[in-house]
Chains A and B, each alone.
Chain A
Amino acid sequence: DGGITQSPKYLFRKEGQNVTLSCEQNLNHDAMYWYRQDPGQGLRLIYYSQIVNDFQKGDIAEGYSVSREKKESFPLTVTSAQKNPTAFYLCASAELWGQGSTGNTIYFGEGSWLTVV
C-alpha cells in the first residue's frame, strides 16, 4: 500500500528532552516536508528537502532539526531549544515540480501529536 507513515501518533516530551518524529514514504517522492499545526491554526513549514542529504529551513525552523539520509525517510527532531513544542506535526511528500503525473500535489501522513509534560 503506497503512502506516508508517521510514528508515533502520540508522543510526550519532558522538559529538556529531545524527541524524534519518524516519517517514511514509499511513493518514490523526491520532496519531503514537515509542517506544524497549532490548535485552530493553519500549517506552518518547519523544514523541507528536495534531495537526499540536502534540506532547507522553513518559516519556523528554530528548535528543530532534520536529516535526509535516505530518499524515503525524513525524521524530525524536536530539541530542547524549542520552547513551545506542543502541537500537531504533519509530514508530507511530493514529486518535484513539473515531474511525474500527480499534478504537483503534496500528500500528507496522518500526523503526530506532541505534548510537553
Chain B
Amino acid sequence: AQTVTQSQPEMSVQEAETVTLSCTYDTSESDYYLFWYKQPPSRQMILVIRQEAYKQQNATENRFSVNFQKAAKSFSLKISDSQLGDAAMYFCAYRGNAGNMLTFGGGTRLMVKP
C-alpha cells in the first residue's frame, strides 16, 4: 500500500518570503502522479500543482514549484513571494495506476505573517 507523509504539521512564513513544505511517499509502482492541494478555511480542496512521475522536469505554476526527487521519493512544494491568501492547509497526495485512488498525507498548516 502507498503511504504519504508530511512531517511538518505547521509552518509559518513572512509575507513576500519563500517557504518549502515537505512530503515523502512510499510506493512500489513506477507510474504515478503526485499532487499538492490547498484547503483554505472554506474547506474547498483546490489543486495547486501536479507532477507526473515519469517527467524529470519539476512542475511550476506561477509562484508554486515542486522539487521532485524520484529516487528519494520526495516531493516538496516551494511557495515564492508568499501572500496572505496562501494561508491554508496543504495536502500532498499520491495517485497510482492501481485502484484509481488518491492517498493523502496528514497535511501542513501554513500561516503567513503580514
Name A's B-contacting residues (CB within 8 A): 31, 33, 37, 41-43, 45, 48, 50, 56, 58, 88, 90, 92, 94, 96-98, 103-108, 110-111
Contact = CB atoms under 8 A, between A and B. Distances in A.
B11 to A, nearest CB: 15
Given A50-B100, A88-B43, A94-B100, A106 B95 contact: yes
Contacts of B100: 31, 48, 50, 94, 96-97
List the 7 closest pairs (A to B, CB-CB), nearest first.
A108-B45, A42-B106, A43-B104, A104-B33, A42-B104, A97-B97, A106-B102
B44 A41 contact: no
Interface size class of B (residues with CB under 8 A): 20 to 34
Contact of B33 (A31, A33, A103, A107): A103
A90 B50 CA distance: 20
B101 A45 contact: yes
A43 B35 CA distance: 14
Contacts of B95: 94, 97, 104, 106
A42 B91 contact: yes
Nearest to B95: A104
Given A41-B107, A42-B91, A110-B44, A105 B35 contact: yes
Which of B35, B43, B100 has the most chain A CB within a 10 Å cutoff?
B100
A108 to B, nearest CB: 4
B47 interface: yes
Contact of B101 (A33, A37, A42, A103): A33
Contacts of B93: 106
A111 B40 CA distance: 13
B106 A92 contact: no
